[in-house]
Structure 1
């Protein structure tokens, strides 16, 4: 994201201070320089007063950047500046490269350096290179970098790539999380499939707020008869879909208005955060850290084409789900669509809804008493996304009800049973009965009904906010031992993550903080865990005896 992380090295010059001796930089002629300066409309070429006005605004922004400690704020400013240029047109890059960047370097202040770093953190191509090189030279000249600069250069990791779909394929939400130097942010892109698959808006929120938001989303969606499903995406597929949504929106927005750069810098007092163009610019920079898609971008449909439904390349059979007749539409971009039951408000963000396994066949009948006692299933329950893996090996009666299996898994992993859950199987979804979500009663269904044979799998998801997904695999089927009390745990690995820690990525972040006593959140995390020392929190610990004691308490 930063000039350094993009691989731009520092470039020395023979007399760096001489370049800042005048009030405005001199632009040497190049092969790209017009024969006459009148051919360029950038502030550098068209008038010093305009350039000075813009530079004053940039330095004022740089002064503000020196008071913050979160590099996301610097990136947001850089994205705001660049998105203004994006709206102006191709001439903006020339204005930045030939006018604004050299002028900021000439200013030679900490504010100028902060602004250059902000621009370089999100700028693509030669503008990013120019801003990064200018910042490097200021540092060489002794200008002190802002406190967030090192964090800005830390590697960015990403995960939780999901696509949440409504059941008619009218809208979807692309969700992922980005993490860097102990901070996590979630990104949600609302996509309208009735508008060429264009992005409606972009939400950015702290990753630790996802759990609360998703609970709200499920509550309001269920109340209005909306069924939302999720599918996991690879990083490449997420980037492909996200870039297509941004590109479709850019086509629609092109030519709507050309904003003057100086006016854009004034901002919008009624808006608490960056506008869509700035968020799109910031998101493009984040997407560039993901693997590049192997397939080309989807073509944008024209008005006389029939391609105004789902995103090109997406199989409708994978995203269109059954819904009750007369159901409501999904909220898009903070604006509720018409519904049969009144408006539905979208929360500030949401986490990962449980992925579905579409029902394909009728549910088998229950075991009859005349068939004799049920066999024992040896099942392995593994927590998705964990490395090293976290799992439990359990022995349970094949005819155990899913409601009781839920309690067994809760005890085996040390969960508190304080959130919603669902079993996803090829025969349907089972949990607390909910007609709107097509959740059937788990109390009436047994494990062997939904997993009849060895090697069958089902998915158990607990806490739709943190989205703890457990793969349940039937490893063996054997006769019960009269001397053994079932269910029991015969093996496992590692302790389960603590409840409400923010899902897999939140747990990774927690472990990173606990490894560094100098981390600013170290004491806070210890207090949250209820321990005095990080040694007291042992993620590698697994105690089969403790698990079996917990299982014995299940009635």
Structure 2
């Protein structure tokens, strides 16, 4: 049914032409990508009255929501798709006002389609606009219109199973959120890209069992752990993702995210929130030192105490400008954690937090990166403090000296590299410069360290535990 709820530019153009709109208005519609884009262009050009009439044409697209077979999910998908298209061409600050104005114009028609729009927008529109939509719907009912059957349950599905899997490096994660209206279940399928920053794809399926089977199979084939999440855990993941800008890449991903983002934001509200604890707002101050480095190479960083070890691994990669090419493992009092590997005895680093393995000041854990070069790090907990309001973590406070380049042979190989680069007469000098892709040895400074540059990398995954 969703595909039938598509306001078309052709219909809108024909209506304007029938009303005798000037050629300039028609050209603006021709240049638009979709109905909301046309409305914005016409409004900016000053065609106030035509826009008010034009805005009503899309109500025909909501006619399928009045059919007997329409359910609450159909209404939600229609509203989410329309709001997503509208948001694409609207300034975020103006978006709530534009939606409110659209509801008012729709109500003024007194049409049953306006009631369907208002009831669906009362669930999916920006939170500050929902009461406006609900009140408009109530007035339309008071005027004699009848609510569609789905109006009683829309926006109130039952929360079901949440599951997913992630690559052990923690770069990409698949998450599925199941909901049901009576016996009819549906699932929101999310692809999260932590490297790019946030939500990469999001679509809706009415086949949760098949999605689950596909996830189990994919995780098994790839050697990744399949995970069951509590709704509280799923909420934490989704809330964290939605704090960042979506990052779709392929055209179909852009369309999916645009279409389903409003629905996802509404479904997040249905997931229960875990009780907030002191751990959620505490921060570990760590000193991470590359063992064997002389002079010492180290970083001082603050990370949320609830950070999983896989996320700590990613932070250390940014702290030392590593490229995450190689295997890694943490050595902790509870055992070794990295990419889950029963043969090596490595547990899943995504299932253990920093607070689990090093809860107090002076606690220590180890981190080994690249089993060949053996970049071994000592991690000392210097303090555990409360997060500062408005501050995003992780954040690097200070450090000393540049990190060794990838594949430079471990501590001894790096020391040799520094000696070779410092001696222009060395027979390997030119070869090492070429390997580092440098024009001159002056471009290589082992004493250099820039905390701002490190924090720029960390900002991709940093979040604010305590809002200001």
TM range (shorter): 0.3 to 0.5
TM-score by length of 2: 0.47
Structure with a larger share of its residues in helix:
2
Provide the TM-score with structure 1 as the length reference: 0.40
User: More relative contact order in 1 or in 2 (CA 8 Å, sep 6+)?
Assistant: 1
